[in-house]
């Protein structure tokens, strides 16, 4: 059993924020894979279903970002799981928009949601780092992550979310490479060939004529009838 955790802040005020991309990813996975309706549990919104042959729990902590670890820790202890069974989807300032990376363990890099999870379950969980870009100014980070995605972001954002759902089974099975490939196919779909196969038969080049044939072709053709030729002979 695995727990997929999406990080974000609860309520419609924050629903479209960059900081809520983790919530968005879990919503897409739940919709595309037919998970049970969301319900309140473990201080968050909770759903369960199957990815492949494995049972997976989806959890969106509703403690607000800075206390996300409380919700994650409670769910993990209830199911007697370890941090190795936890996969967290979160926004990543240090990746360009549309870029996604999977990382096992490591630091929290100042992300308040990850900081809280570290405090409650330790650092040995898997992170799906979902790039949102950086505003370019450290002082602008807070307002940047708490603003909605721009209209221009809708295309790549939808591709990334759908790609996460496409590759969710691979992620559960521990194949992060296939998971990343699923996202890549959404962002950069393979080109379909638009050229039509040739249907006309290729004509063979005729063999060169023999010398006798060339001579015969060069001589004028006899157009008189046999009777005319006989009369000409005795005229």
Sequence length of the chain is: 235
Q: What is the structure's pLDDT at 202?
A: 39
Tokens found for residue 189 = 């779909």
Q: Is the dihedral of CA 137, 143, 144, 145 positive or negative?
A: positive
Is 90 part of the annotated catalytic residue set? no
| pLDDT at residue 229 tops 70 | no
| CA angle (113, 172, 106) in 5-degree steps | 40
Q: How far is Cα 232 from Cα 229, in angstroms, rounded to an integer?
A: 5
Percent share of the chain, pLDDT over 70 = 81
Cα separation, 61 vs 9, whole angstroms? 8
Which candidate in 19, 90, 111, 118 is catalytic? 19
Kindly state the percentage of the chain with pLDDT values over 90: 79
Answer yes or no: is pLDDT of 195 > 90: no
Residue scoring higher pLDDT (217 or 160): 160
One-character DSSP codes across 215-232:
HHHHSPPP-S-HHHHHHH
**Radius of gyration in angstroms for the set of CA atoms belonging to the chain, rounded to a whole number:** 35
Round to whole Å and give the CA distance between 55 and 232. 107
pLDDT score, position 172 = 97
- pLDDT, tens digit, for every residue of 143-190? 999 999 999 999 999 999 999 999 999 999 999 999 999 999 999 988
Give the pTM: 0.81
d(CA 5, CA 9): 13
Q: Per residue in 6-18, pLDDT tens?
A: 999 999 999 999 9
pLDDT at 225 over 90: no
94 vs 217, which has greater pLDDT? 94
Average pLDDT rounded to a whole number, residues 198-215: 47
Residue 199 has pLDDT above 50, yes or no: no
What confidence score (pLDDT) does residue 190 get?
Answer: 80
Q: How confident is the model at residue 209 (pLDDT cuts 50, 70, 90)?
A: low
pLDDT of residue 221: 52
């Amino acid at each position: 059993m695995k727990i997929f955790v999406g990080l974000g802040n609860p309520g419609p005020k924050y629903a479209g924020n960059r900081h809520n991309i983790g919530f968005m990813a879990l919503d897409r996975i739940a919709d595309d894979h037919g998970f049970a309706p969301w319900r309140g549990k473990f201080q968050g919104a909770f759903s369960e279903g199957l990815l492949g042959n494995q049972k997976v729990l989806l959890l969106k902590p509703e403690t607000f970002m800075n206390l996300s670890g409380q919700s994650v820790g409670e769910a993990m202890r209830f199911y007697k799981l370890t941090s190795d069974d936890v996969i967290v989807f979160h926004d990543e300032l240090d990746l360009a928009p549309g870029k996604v990376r999977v990382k096992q363990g490591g630091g929290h890099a100042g992300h308040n949601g990850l900081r809280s999870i570290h405090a409650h379950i330790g650092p040995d969980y898997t992170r799906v780092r979902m790039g949102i870009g950086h505003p370019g100014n450290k002082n602008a980070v807070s307002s940047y992550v708490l603003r909605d995605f721009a209209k221009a972001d809708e295309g790549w954002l939808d591709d990334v979310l759908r790609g996460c759902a496409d590759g969710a089974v691979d992620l559960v099975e521990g194949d992060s490479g296939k998971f990343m490939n699923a996202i890549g196919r959404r962002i950069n779909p393979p080109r379909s060939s638009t050229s039509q196969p040739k249907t006309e038969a290729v004509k063979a080049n005729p063999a060169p004529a023999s010398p006798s044939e060339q001579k015969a072709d060069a001589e004028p053709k006899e157009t008189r009838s046999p009777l005319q030729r006989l009369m000409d002979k005795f005229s």
